[in-house]
Amino acid sequence: MNDEQWMRYAIRLAQRAEQQGEVPVGALIVYHDDCIAEGWNQPIQTNDATAHAEIVALRKAGQRLGNYRLLDCTLYVTLEPCVMCMGAIAHARIKRLVFGAYDPKRGAVCHALQLAEADFLNHRIDWCGGVLETDCAQLLTDFFKARR
C-alpha cells in the first residue's frame, strides 16, 4: 500500500475516535508493509491525558514487536503530532512519520516546534506532512464546528 492508502486507514480510525466523543485523530504503525498497531484518541474515555492516537499505537506496536524501539517502522497519523507524541516517536526510534493535517498552533514536527530535526535528539525522523491533508483537516473542522 502507499501513503494515501495507509492515511485512509488512519482516517477510519479517527472516525472511530469521533464516534466515541473524542477528537478525531487516528494513527497506525506499519512494519514491512504490514499494519502492526493502530490507535485513536482516547483521553476522555480512559481518563488518561497521554492516550493520544500516536501513543496508543506506539504502545501496541511495542508489545507486538517485543521492543520499545520500533526500528524500520512508519507511523501514519491524521494530524501533525504534538510535543508529547513527538518525544515518544523519537524515543521509539520511528524511522518515518507521515501525517495528514498540519497543526500550526501545536504541531511539533514543523510548526510550533520542529522536533523532527532538533539537535538535542539523538534520532532523526524522516517525515512527510500533508498526505490527504484536506480530508484529515475536514474531520477536525466538522468535529469542532458541531461542538460549538
Identify the helix (H) or strand (E) that includes residue 74. Answer: strand 73-79
Residue with cell 526510534: 93
Cell of 24: 478525531
CA distance 117 to 113: 10
Confirm whether 4 is a catalytic residue: no
Query: Exactly one of 18, 22, 38, 54 is catalytic; which is it?
Result: 54
Amino acid at 17: A
User: In the numeric block, which cell numbers belong to residue 76?
Assistant: 501514519
Beta bridge partners of 35: 30
Interatomic CA distance for residues 116 and 126, integer angstroms = 8
Q: Please identify every residue annotated as catalytic.
A: 54
